[in-house]
Amino acid sequence: MSLPHAILTALLEKPSSGLELTRRFDKSIGYFWSATHQQIYRELGKLEADGLIRTLPAEQPARGQRKSYEVLPAGRAELARWTAASQEPKPLRDALLLRLRAAAVVGTAGLGDDLRRHLELHERQLAEYQEIEKRDFPPGKDGPQDRLQHLVLRAGIDLETFWTGWLRHALEEFAELPGADPA
């Protein structure tokens, strides 16, 4: 039940059409809640049917024509309710860790390459986040909204820092393993 609220947040930040939302989900919000355009259109339909958003007036809704949405008061209320509601953290689910565990049984052949590839990807993501931090959150800027958004970005940076650190450690261990494939 998070996608509708992700969309409400995005629309409150700025009313948009489906495709614009899709683009924005590819960037900022998508960093921690990704969505495809099919999901977004489906959800926009539901949100409108539920009276939480509406199409901006002065727009005629035809098939191939852009339709922009804005959040209604009921939508803002629902978002506030959801934000404050207590929610269980979802248990971790990571295929790479599963593969490591499987490798303990069927051998590590071929796994090292993918670990290196993942390390590269996480390094790149970390660099991207750090760029954003430098660009969007310079030392002076610290209104309440900035503080909160910076906090979210911090989580991304710390997470990628964790992954790169752990992957480097894992690769060191791999190098020492008897049957491990060499670099």
Partner DNA sequence: ACTCACATGTAACGAGTTACATGATTCC
Partner DNA sequence: GGAATCATGTAACTCGTTACATGTGAGT
Q: Please count the residues of this chain forming the interface with DNA, following the rule CB under 7 A.
A: 25
Q: Are strands 53-55 and 68-71 parallel, antiparallel or unpaired?
A: antiparallel
Residue 37 binds DNA (CB under 7 A): yes
Q: Of residues 35-74, which lie at the interface with a copy of itself (CB under 8 A)?
A: none
Interacting residue with DNA among 14, 32, 45, 169 (CB under 7 A):
45
- Extract the tokens encoding 147: 């503080």
Number of C-beta neighbours around residue 86 at 10 A:
4
Whether 114 and 102 have beta carbons less than 8 Å apart is answered as no
Residue 1 binds DNA (CB under 7 A): yes
Residue 44 binds DNA (CB under 7 A): yes
Beta-sheet strand order (sheet of 68-71): 16-17, 68-71, 53-55
Determine the Cα–Cα distance for residues 177 and 183; give it in Å rounded to an integer.
12
Q: Of residues 62-101, which lie at the interface with DNA (CB under 7 A)?
A: 62-68
Task: Please state the closest distance from residue 19 (CB atom) to a copy of itself, in A.
Answer: 20
Show the site string, 111-130: x = touches a copy of itself by CB under 8 A, - = not: x-xx--xx--xx--------
Residue 10 binds DNA (CB under 7 A): no
Q: Of residues 49-68, which lie at the interface with DNA (CB under 7 A)?
A: 61-68
Helices (H), 27-143: 37-49, 73-84, 95-106, 111-136
Residue among 166, 179, 176 nearest 115 (CA): 166
| Residues making contact with DNA (CB under 7 A) | 1-3, 17-20, 34-39, 41-42, 44-45, 61-68
